[in-house]
């Protein structure tokens, strides 16, 4: 058997977003991965991996996020065929904007299309999250959920799994700044505390609740005030050179919030498109890193849709 090639785009995503560790996520317009696949007789074959960081990505389908997630969907659907895959990374691995999540979600979504779209959203997200569990040192769906559903997503519970999607405000602009340092999610999860205090729990619950309200009502000032993290970003800050300086530069240039994207190293800044200029924030952070002798890539973008057929 050798079918037609099907191609999908899987976007970068921001996870955690202040108080929502392993809960909140948002899809970005760019960058994104492109994954192509066609039906073959059996098994999963990865015949090509290209793009930034491709040389670090395993081609063994049992160790590759695209392969693991696609295989989970084939199993779940009882498919009687396999898939040959080609992966074009647009999102560098170890970036903090859901590189492995985009691979996992893209692989799951592609297999879902080839199987005739038999799964519901929660089943599809969980197939992708299985890949995250293998490659990132813990089951978390806060990148794969927005990567599949688009917009802003909130995971109410992992067992049983329940996720909701909220349309973010049109006025919400996003600056992504990626300093030239690699931080693996496995490494960044290993430094987290095993327990949190009641004081921090109360702080997170209050900010998380207001953040969701702000997303729904389009209150960008409240959104900015609610992007607060007393536990996870402080525990990881030492892994990201000049994180606090980058956040301070963004805030001094009009950002509403500036914070660590996922497990880092990306520094994410929110701004109001109607009131601020994202390019100024991006230039400010890039120049700060240049002064320290470090390269930093930036994107001025916004929230976007989930995986889509190309």
* Residue 22 in the binding site for ligand HSE (CB under 6 A): yes
> In the numeric block, which tokens belong to residue 83?
């898939």
C-alpha 67: how far from its chain's center? 18
Q: In what order do the strands lie in the sheet with 296-302?
A: 257-260, 267-272, 172-179, 296-302
Rule CB under 6 A: choose which of 263, 269, 272, 298 binds ligand HSE: 263
Rule CB under 6 A: choose which of 15, 135, 258, 298 binds ligand HSE: 15
Concatenated DSSP letters of 120-131: -HHHHHHHHHHH
> In the numeric block, which tokens belong to residue 1?
């058997």
Q: Is 298 a catalytic residue?
A: no
Secondary structure percentages of the chain, helix, strand, coil, to 5: 40, 30, 35
Among residues 6, 13, 36, 132, the one annotated as catalytic is 132
Interface pattern 63-92 for ligand HSE (x via CB under 6 A): ------------------------------
* Residue 93 in the binding site for ligand HSE (CB under 6 A): no
Q: Which is nearer to ligand HSE, 106 or 284 (CB)?
A: 106
Q: Which is nearer to ligand HSE, 17 or 77 (CB)?
A: 17
State how far the Cα of 305 lies from the Cα of 133, in Å rounded to an integer. 24
Q: Which is nearer to ligand HSE, 21 or 299 (CB)?
A: 21
Per CB under 6 A, the segment of 15-23, 59-67, 111-119, 215-223 that binds ligand HSE is 15-23
Q: Is 135 a catalytic residue?
A: no
Interface pattern 132-171 for ligand HSE (x via CB under 6 A): --------x-xx----------------------------
Task: Find the angle CA(114)-CA(101)-CA(220) to the nearest 5 degrees.
Answer: 115
**40 beta partners:** 2, 82
Burial class (CB in 10 A: 0-12, 13-18, 19+), 291: exposed
Q: Are 145 and 102 within 8 A, CB to CB?
A: no
Rule CB under 6 A: choose which of 61, 107, 146, 262 binds ligand HSE: 262
Residues that bind ligand HSE (CB under 6 A): 15-16, 21-22, 98, 140, 142-143, 185, 188-189, 262-263
Residues with active-site annotation: 132, 185
């Amino acid at each position: 058997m050798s079918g037609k090639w099907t191609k999908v785009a899987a976007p970068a995503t921001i996870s955690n977003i202040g108080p929502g560790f392993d809960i909140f996520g948002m899809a970005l317009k760019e960058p994104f991965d492109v994954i192509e696949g066609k039906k073959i007789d059996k098994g999963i074959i990865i015949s090509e991996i290209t793009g930034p960081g491709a040389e670090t990505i395993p081609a063994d389908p049992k160790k590759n996020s695209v392969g693991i997630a696609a295989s989970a969907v084939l199993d779940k659907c009882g498919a009687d065929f396999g898939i040959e895959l080609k992966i074009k990374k647009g999102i560098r691995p170890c970036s903090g904007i859901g590189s492995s999540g985009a691979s996992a979600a893209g692989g799951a979504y592609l297999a879902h299309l080839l199987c005739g779209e038999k799964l519901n959203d929660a089943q599809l997200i969980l197939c992708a999250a299985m890949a995250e569990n293998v490659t990132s040192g813990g089951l978390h769906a806060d990148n794969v959920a927005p990567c599949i559903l688009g917009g802003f997503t909130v995971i109410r519970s992992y067992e049983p799994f329940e996720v909701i999607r909220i349309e973010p405000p049109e006025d919400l602009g996003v600056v992504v700044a990626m300093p030239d340092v690699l931080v693996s999610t496995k490494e960044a999860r290993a430094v987290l505390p095993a327990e949190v205090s009641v004081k921090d729990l109360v702080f997170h619950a209050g900010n998380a609740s207001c953040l969701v309200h702000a997303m729904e009502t389009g209150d960008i000032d409240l959104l900015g005030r609610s992007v607060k993290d007393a536990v996870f970003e402080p525990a990881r800050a030492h892994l990201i050179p000049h994180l606090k300086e980058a956040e301070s530069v963004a805030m001094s240039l009009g950002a509403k919030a500036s914070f660590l994207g996922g497990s880092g190293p990306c520094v994410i800044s929110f701004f109001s498109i109607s009131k601020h200029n994202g390019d100024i924030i991006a230039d400010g952070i890039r120049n700060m890193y240049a002064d320290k002798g470090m390269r930093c890539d930036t994107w001025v973008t916004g929230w976007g849709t989930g995986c889509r057929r190309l």
